[in-house]
């Protein structure tokens, strides 16, 4: 049987049948070594990051990509923009109720402050019923108001809406107590309040 050499290694005509097997073994060993080096580098990088720890002096964003509220200045660490919007709405309701009430409480001047209470239309109660359940049992008015966010840019632009459904109406109005915080920043409908006094 005749033999011949390729790069110094003796092969015969039957040796080529094993050539694909040798290639497979070579590739397997190569990939194994490559994977081992890759995993070693990943483990080394994780170890370095663990030693580095978290950066200091930098504000970290929360899961929503926003700054944590406790890092904000000017009181925003205590109250959100939604809280301020709701307070503004409540102040407007108090002013509307003051305009609907001719007296303080029992007489001119009165003895006590009057109150503004939320009317949730989902509860199907009138302002007369809501006021009667408290020490401020007299209902002077119901006010339904809404303010458009943002600055006006021209004359006669609508910036708010109001309606008076009266003390004995239970259907339309608003439901502040059962909506999400951000609704105050979106136009939906009125928010309903009861003007109650002693």
As a whole number of angstroms, the distance between CA 48 and CA 152 comes to 55
Identify which of 196, 187, 195, 158 has the alpha carbon closest to the alpha carbon of residue 85.
Answer: 187
- CA within 13 Å, CB half, 15: 10
As a whole number of angstroms, the distance between CA 76 and CA 62 comes to 16
Secondary structure tally for the chain: helices H, strands E: 3, 6
Helix, strand, or coil (residue 9):
strand
Region for 179 from its dihedrals, namely left if φ exceeds 0, alpha if ψ lies in -120 to 50, beta otherwise:
beta
| pLDDT recorded at residue 6 | 47
Helix, strand, or coil (residue 181):
helix
Residues whose CB falls within 8 Å of the CB of residue 161, separated by 6 or more in sequence, listed in order: 145, 146, 190
Cβ atoms of 190 and 144 within 8 Å: the answer is yes
Helix spans in 61-111 (H): 81-100
pLDDT by 10s per residue, the chain, length 198: 444 444 554 555 555 555 566 677 777 788 888 888 888 888 888 887 777 766 666 666 667 666 666 666 655 666 778 888 999 999 999 999 988 877 665 555 567 789 999 999 888 999 999 999 999 999 999 999 988 888 999 999 999 999 888 999 988 888 888 888 888 887 677 899 999 988
As a whole number of angstroms, the distance between CA 136 and CA 54 comes to 55
As a whole number of angstroms, the distance between CA 146 and CA 72 comes to 28
């Amino acid at each position: 049987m005749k033999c011949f050499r390729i790069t110094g290694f003796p092969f015969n005509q039957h040796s080529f049948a094993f050539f694909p097997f040798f290639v497979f073994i070579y590739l397997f060993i190569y990939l194994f070594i490559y994977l081992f080096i890759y995993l070693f580098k990943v483990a080394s990088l994780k170890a370095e990051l663990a030693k580095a720890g978290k950066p200091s002096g930098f504000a970290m964003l929360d899961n929503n990509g926003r700054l944590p509220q406790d890092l904000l200045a000017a009181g925003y660490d205590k109250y959100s923009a939604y809280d301020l919007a709701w307070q503004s709405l409540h102040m407007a309701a108090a002013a509307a109720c003051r305009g609907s009430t001719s007296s303080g409480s029992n007489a001119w001047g009165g003895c006590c402050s009057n109150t503004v209470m939320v009317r949730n239309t989902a509860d199907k109660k009138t302002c007369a019923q809501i006021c009667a359940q408290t020490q401020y049992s007299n209902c002077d008015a119901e006010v339904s108001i809404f303010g458009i966010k943002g600055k006006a840019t021209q004359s006669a632009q609508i910036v708010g809406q109001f309606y008076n459904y009266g003390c004995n109406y239970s259907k339309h109005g608003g439901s502040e107590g059962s909506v999400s915080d951000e609704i105050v920043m979106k136009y939906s409908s009125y928010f309903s309040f009861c003007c109650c006094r002693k």
